[in-house]
C-alpha cells in the first residue's frame, strides 16, 4: 500500500472529489499525478470510451478499471459507411461482451458504433447485465430481431434502445412482444432502421401506451401514416418523434386526427422520418413548428414551395437536415427565419444525375452563413463552388467546428475562375480557429494542405478524397496538425515518403486510413517492423501481399495505434504487417 503523508486526504474524500470529474481527459490527467491517485481514480471510474476496439483489449480495460458502469466502443473505420471496408473486416463485440459479462455485472450502459453484433452477443448481454439501462447500436450489423427479443425479454431496467442506422436481419416482427407486460420504463426507442415485417404494430402500441416516461420514439418506414395519430395520442409527452412513411391518400379523418394528435404533443421539439412525404400532409405539423429545434426532412422528397413554406414556420430551429430540394431560395428563407440555427445538412436528391436537377449552389450556403450567426456544423452536398464563396462563408462563420463540403464531382474547380479551391478551404481553416472536423472536395493541390498544416491546429478529423499532387500534401498535414486524431484518405497520389517521415505522428493519432493511394507494400512492412505500437493492416482482395513486389501499391491501408498488439480475428483479405510478417513468409 502507498505511504500516506500527514497531508494527504483519505481515499474516500478523493473519490468523492473525483466523482465530479466526468471528462475522460481530466480523469486521465488526475490518474497520472501520483500512484495513489492512479489507484483511487481507477477504482472509481465509471465510464470508459474506447474509440477503436482494437486499440486495447477487454482484459486490459477490466484490469485497470474494475467497476465500470458505462462503456462505449467503436469498431470499423469511418469509411466503412461508404462501403470501402469489405464485409468480414472485423469489429466483433462478442469478445468484449464475454469478458465484461463476468467482470461488470452492474454494467448499465453499452454504446457501440460500427461493430458486428451477433444475436449471441445480444443474448449474452441480456443474460449478464440485468441492470442494463441503455443499449445503443449505432451503424452496427450482424444481428436479427431474435437478438432484440432477447434484450426485450431480459433487460427489465432498459430505458433506452437505439438501433440507429443499424442493419438488422428481419425474422419476425414479434420481438416487441417480448417486453413483458410489467415493463414500463422505456424512455427512448429508435427503430427507424428496421425493415418490413420487423415491427408488430399492436405490440408497439401497447408498449408505448404503458410507458409513461417515453420521450423519444423514432419509428421505421413501414409504419403507415394513418396509425401515427393513435400512437401519438398514447404518448403526448414525447419530445422527439420520428414518423414512418409520410405518404397516404388524403383523407379528412386521417388528416384531422393527425392535426389533433400533433397539437396535443406540447413538448415536441424534434421531428424526423417523413419517408416518401407528400405535401398534402405537411400542414398537420404546423402547430408544432414554432417549437421545433430539430427537423430532419432528409428522407422527404418534398420540393419548393411546400418545403420552404414549412421551413419558414420554424423560427426556433437549431438543427436542420434536408435534401437539396430546398434549393438556394429555400436556404435564403432558412437564413432569414432561423436565427438560432447551429447545424445544417443538405443531402443530394440525385447524386448520380449528370445534370443538376435542382438549383442548389454555393449561394445557399453563403446565405445561411450570413444569416445564421450561430452556425457551427455544416454538411453540404452541391455541384459547384467558388473560392470567393468559401472565403465569404469563412468570414461569416468563424465559429465553425465541423465543416464538410462534398462537391459531387470530386475534382471540380472553382466554377468562376477555374482555379483550384485551395484558397477557399484555406480561408476556412484560417478563420475558423476551433475547427475540429473538415472534409475536403473539389480540385485541390498541395497548397490547401499547406494551409491546413499551418492553421488547423485544433483539427481532429480530416477526410480527403481525390486531392493533392504529392507526398508534400500529406507531410503538411501530418507535421502541422497538432490535434489530428483521425485521418482518412481515398484516391490521392500519396505514397511512402510522407508516411515514413512522419511515422511517429501516427502514434499520436487514433487511426489513418488510406485507400487507392500509392503506398507501397515495402513501406507498410517497414512501418510494421519499426513501429511496434502501431498495427499496420493491409487489405487487398486480390491476393496475399507476398505474391507481389515490394514496390506494388497496396489497395487499402489502415493504421492505428494499439497497446493490444496485432489482432487475430482478421478475414483472409487483411494482413497485418508486424515483425513476424516477414519471417512468416520466408
Site for other proteins in 58-87 (CB under 8 A): 79, 81-84, 87
Polymer length in residues for the chain = 586
Q: Find the binder of other proteins among 422, 430, 460, 537 (CB under 8 A).
A: 422
Window 491 to 510, contacts with other proteins (CB under 8 A): 491-498, 500-505, 507-508
Rama region for 258: left / alpha / beta (φ>0; ψ in -120 to 50; rest): alpha
Nearer residue to other proteins within complex by CB, 250 or 418: 418
H helix runs in 211-321, sequence order: 228-234, 252-263, 286-289, 306-312
Window 190 to 219, contacts with other proteins (CB under 8 A): 193
- For CA atoms 5, 9, 11, 14, the dihedral sign is negative
Q: Find the binder of other proteins among 172, 237, 298, 370 (CB under 8 A).
A: 298
Binding window for other proteins (CB under 8 A); candidates: 257-265, 334-342, 364-372, 523-531: 523-531
Q: Find the binder of other proteins among 71, 372, 490, 557 (CB under 8 A).
A: 490
Q: Closest by alpha carbon to 499, among 539, 528, 471?
A: 471
Residues 232-271: x/- map of binding to other proteins (CB under 8 A)? ----------------------------------------
Angle (CA) 303-309-311 rounded to 5° is 90
Nearer residue to other proteins within complex by CB, 19 or 359: 359
Window 332 to 361, contacts with other proteins (CB under 8 A): 347-354
Distance CA 209, CA 204 (A): 8
DSSP 3-state percent helix, strand, coil across the chain (nearest 5): 35, 20, 45
Distance CA 247, CA 226 (A): 9
Q: What is the DSSP letter of 2?
A: -
Residue 92 in the binding site for other proteins (CB under 8 A): yes
Residue 563 in the binding site for other proteins (CB under 8 A): no
Number of residues that bind other proteins (CB under 8 A): 101
Q: Which residues contact 322 (CB under 8 A, 6 or more apart)?
A: 295, 297, 298, 300, 307, 311, 330, 345, 346, 347
Residue 439 in the binding site for other proteins (CB under 8 A): yes
CB-based contact 383:407 (threshold 8 Å): yes
Window 1 to 60, contacts with other proteins (CB under 8 A): none
Window 124 to 183, contacts with other proteins (CB under 8 A): 142, 165, 167, 169
Residue 480 CA, chain-centre distance (Å), reads 25
Minimum separation from the CB atom of position 540 to other proteins (A): 9
Minimum separation from the CB atom of position 326 to other proteins (A): 15
Q: Find the binder of other proteins among 306, 470, 564, 567 (CB under 8 A).
A: 470
Residue 408 in the binding site for other proteins (CB under 8 A): yes
Nearer residue to other proteins within complex by CB, 37 or 275: 275
Distance CA 64, CA 313 (A): 52
Nearer residue to other proteins within complex by CB, 112 or 490: 490
Residue 463 in the binding site for other proteins (CB under 8 A): yes
CB-based contact 455:425 (threshold 8 Å): no
Minimum separation from the CB atom of position 299 to other proteins (A): 5
Q: Find the binder of other proteins among 242, 420, 424, 528 (CB under 8 A).
A: 420
Minimum separation from the CB atom of position 471 to other proteins (A): 4
Distance CA 325, CA 302 (A): 7
Minimum separation from the CB atom of position 549 to other proteins (A): 8
Coil/strand/helix, residue 311 = helix
CB-based contact 18:24 (threshold 8 Å): no
Query: Which three three-digit cell numbers place residue 310?
Result: 414549412
Residue 453 in the binding site for other proteins (CB under 8 A): yes
Residue 88 in the binding site for other proteins (CB under 8 A): yes
Amino acid at each position: 500500500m502507498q505511504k500516506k503523508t500527514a497531508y494527504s486526504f483519505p481515499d474516500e474524500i478523493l473519490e468523492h472529489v473525483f466523482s465530479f470529474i466526468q471528462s475522460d481527459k481530466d480523469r486521465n490527467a488526475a490518474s497520472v499525478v501520483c500512484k495513489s491517485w492512479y489507484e483511487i481514480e481507477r477504482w472509481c471510474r465509471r465510464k470508459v470510451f474506447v474509440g477503436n476496439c482494437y486499440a486495447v483489449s477487454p482484459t486490459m480495460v477490466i484490469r485497470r478499471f474494475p467497476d465500470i458502469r458505462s462503456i462505449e466502443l467503436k469498431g470499423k473505420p469511418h469509411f466503412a459507411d461508404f462501403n470501402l471496408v469489405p464485409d468480414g473486416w472485423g469489429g466483433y463485440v462478442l469478445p468484449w461482451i464475454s469478458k465484461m459479462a463476468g467482470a461488470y455485472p452492474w454494467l448499465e450502459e453499452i454504446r457501440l458504433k460500427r461493430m458486428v453484433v451477433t444475436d449471441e452477443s445480444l443474448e449474452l448481454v441480456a443474460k449478464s447485465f440485468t441492470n442494463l439501462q441503455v443499449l445503443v447500436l449505432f451503424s452496427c450489423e450482424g444481428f436479427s430481431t431474435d437478438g432484440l427479443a432477447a434484450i426485450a425479454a431480459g433487460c427489465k431496467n432498459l430505458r433506452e434502445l437505439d438501433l440507429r442506422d443499424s442493419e438488422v436481419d428481419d425474422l419476425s416482427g414479434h420481438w416487441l412482444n417480448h417486453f413483458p407486460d410489467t415493463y414500463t420504463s422505456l424512455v427512448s426507442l429508435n427503430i427507424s432502421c428496421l425493415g418490413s415485417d420487423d415491427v408488430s404494430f399492436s405490440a408497439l402500441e401497447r408498449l408505448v401506451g404503458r410507458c409513461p416516461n417515453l420521450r423519444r420514439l423514432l419509428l421505421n418506414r413501414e409504419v403507415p401514416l394513418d396509425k401515427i395519430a393513435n400512437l401519438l395520442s398514447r404518448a403526448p409527452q414525447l419530445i422527439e418523434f420520428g414518423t414512418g412513411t409520410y405518404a397516404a391518400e388524403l383523407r379528412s379523418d386521417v388528416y384531422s386526427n393527425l392535426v389533433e394528435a400533433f397539437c396535443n404533443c406540447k413538448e415536441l421539439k424534434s421531428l424526423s422520418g417523413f419517408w416518401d412525404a407528400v405535401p398534402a400532409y405537411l400542414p398537420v405539423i404546423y402547430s408544432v413548428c414554432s417549437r421545433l429545434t430539430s427537423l430532419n426532412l432528409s428522407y422527404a422528397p418534398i420540393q419548393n414551395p411546400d418545403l420552404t413554406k414549412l421551413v419558414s414556420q420554424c423560427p426556433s430551429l437549431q438543427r436542420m437536415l434536408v435534401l437539396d430540394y430546398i434549393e438556394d431560395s429555400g436556404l435564403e428563407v432558412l437564413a432569414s427565419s432561423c436565427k438560432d440555427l447551429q447545424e445544417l445538412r443538405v443531402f443530394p436528391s440525385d447524386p448520380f444525375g449528370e445534370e443538376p436537377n435542382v438549383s442548389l449552389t454555393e449561394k445557399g450556403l453563403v446565405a445561411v452563413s450570413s444569416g445564421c450567426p450561430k452556425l457551427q456544423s455544416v454538411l453540404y452536398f452541391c455541384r459547384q463552388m467558388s473560392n470567393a464563396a468559401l472565403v465569404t462563408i469563412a468570414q461569416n462563420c468563424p465559429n465553425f467546428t465541423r465543416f464538410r463540403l462534398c462537391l459531387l464531382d470530386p475534382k471540380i474547380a472553382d466554377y468562376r475562375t477555374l482555379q483550384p479551391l485551395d484558397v477557399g478551404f484555406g480561408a476556412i481553416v484560417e478563420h475558423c480557429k476551433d475547427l475540429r472536423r473538415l472534409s475536403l472536395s473539389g480540385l485541390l493541390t498541395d497548397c490547401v494542405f499547406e494551409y491546413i498544416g499551418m492553421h488547423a491546429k485544433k483539427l481532429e478529423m480530416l477526410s480527403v478524397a481525390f486531392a493533392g499532387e504529392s507526398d508534400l500534401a500529406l507531410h503538411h498535414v501530418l507535421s502541422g496538425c497538432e490535434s489530428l486524431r483521425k485521418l482518412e484518405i481515398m484516391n490521392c497520389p500519396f505514397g511512402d515518403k510522407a508516411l515514413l517521415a512522419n511515422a511517429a505522428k501516427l502514434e499520436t493519432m487514433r487511426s489513418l486510413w488510406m485507400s487507392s493511394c500509392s503506398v507501397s507494400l515495402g513501406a507498410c512492412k517497414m512501418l510494421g517492423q519499426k513501429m511496434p505500437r502501431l498495427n499496420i493492416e493491409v487489405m487487398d482482395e486480390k491476393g496475399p501481399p507476398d505474391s507481389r513486389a515490394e514496390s506494388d501499391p497496396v489497395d487499402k491501408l489502415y493504421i492505428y495505434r494499439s497497446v493490444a498488439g496485432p489482432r487475430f480475428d482478421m478475414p483472409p483479405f487483411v494482413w497485418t504487417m508486424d515483425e513476424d510478417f516477414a519471417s512468416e513468409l520466408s
